[in-house]
Structure 1
């Protein structure tokens, strides 16, 4: 089992290049991040070359964070802003050779929001495809992100079918899915063809995966048995210094 460090949460006290170096020193096999846009790509590339790690993914911009935005791509009337954010993410991903881009939907609801999201995802897939980049969509739970447009895997699968692009996949975050739907083992196996990346954290506190209500030793065995061989994203919130929260890695690897 291989693991990717999500540097949006892990080593968040360090600069992104130094966090990449810390992830390598801790034994991670890859890295991913949230919003790296203020960091020059050359600095990211230098850290990736030094460590030999691959950058698995990044997110599109949340929009106006001070106004409470959490993504733009399902917001009717904000198509220009959403596509600018998508184009920004694609351009950055090309520079740092990131494998995936998570297109954030934002806070919206209804048929118009659905159609807006679908059309923006078609734009994203078309922009990313020539560069071998996969577009991801991720359901978020309604406790942490009340009102977020995309909340369940069934809703995501419907959108995947409607967009019908080979480089559009599901980001299956075990933490969010457990809170909204449960049944992780069967759901992972059933959705394997649609899954582009898997993330994890303890439930319900989003801490390290060696405590809480989910038995990740079992979940990781299911993932291994179903033939999924990509690094799994550790997207948890450390309680204290990240290096003090990594005991789980060797036990669960």
Structure 2
């Protein structure tokens, strides 16, 4: 089994190129990030090439963070801003050889938000396809992101089926899914045709995967048995220096 370091949380105290090198030295097989836009794409590409790692994914901009925004794609009346964020993410991803972009929905609800999100996702998929980039959507739990538009895998699958394009997939974050729905291993089996990336963290504290209510040794074995062989994203919040939280990785 292979693992990806999510540099939005791991080594977050380091500049992104240095975090990439730290992940390589720690034994990760790939990296992923949240919002890399403050770092020149050329510097990230150089670090990735030097480390021999792939950046698996990045997020579209949250919007105006000071105003509490957490994504734009489901916000009625913000289509221009949402599509500008999508264009920015696809351009940056193509410059660093990243093959997935997570389009963040934002805080919204109702039929108009659904239609807005669907239209923006269709736009994102069309823009991403010539670059060989997959668009990901991720349900977030209501405790960490109350009011976020996309909260369940059922909702995500409905959107994927409605848009019906080959480069729209589900980001299955075990942490969020466990908090909202539970039944992780059955859901992984049922949803595998929709899944483009898998992430994990302990539940309920979002810490390293060696603690909490989810037995990740079992979950990882199930994922492997299902034939999924891409790196799994370690998107957890270290409860100390990142290097001190990697016992789970060294033991595998």
Q: Which TM-score bucket, shorter chain as reference?
A: over 0.9
Q: How far 1:250 sits from its partner (Å)?
A: 2.8
Specify the SS of the correspondent of 1:230. coil
Give the structure 1 partner of residue 207 of structure 2: 207
TM-score in terms of structure 2 length: 0.99
Equivalenced residues, count: 252
Task: Give the root-mean-square deviation of aligned CA atoms.
Answer: 0.4
What secondary structure is seen at the aligned counterpart in 2 of 1:236? coil
Counterpart of 2:157 in structure 1 is 157
1:32 maps to 32
**Structure 1: how far apart are the matches of 2:60 and 2:49?**
24
CA distance in 2, matches of 1:212, 1:84: 39
In structure 2, how many angstroms separate the alpha carbons of the residues matched to 1:142 and 1:26? 33
Q: When the two structures are superposed, what TM-score results if normalisation uses the length of structure 1?
A: 0.99
Find the aligned partners of 2:218 and 2:188 in 1 and give their Cα distance.
Answer: 12
Match of 2:91 in 1: 91
Which consecutive unaligned segments of at least 5 residues does structure 2 have? none
Moved >2 Å (runs of 4+): none
CA distance in 1, matches of 2:55, 2:159: 26
| 2:84 paired with 1:55 | no
Aligned residue number for residue 146 of structure 1: 146
**Mapped partners of 1:23, 1:137: distance in 2:** 25
| Aligned counterparts of 2:216 and 2:127: Cα–Cα separation in 1 | 36
Q: Structure 2: how far apart are the matches of 1:27 and 1:149?
A: 36
Cα distance in 2 for residues equivalent to 1:166 and 1:221: 27
CA drift of 1:38 comes to: 1.0
SS at match of 2:72: coil
Partner in structure 2 of residue 191 of structure 1: 191
Cα deviation 1:22-59 (Å, max 9, x = unaligned): 00000000000000011001100110111100000000
Q: Distance in 1 between matches of 2:86 and 2:143?
A: 26
Residue 123 of structure 2: aligned partner: 123
- Match of residue 242 from structure 2: 242
Looking at structure 1, the residues matched to 68 and 75 of structure 2 have their Cα atoms a distance apart, in angstroms, of 13
Gaps of 5+ in 1: none
Offset of residue 73 of structure 1: 0.1
Distance 2:42 2:130 in 1: 22
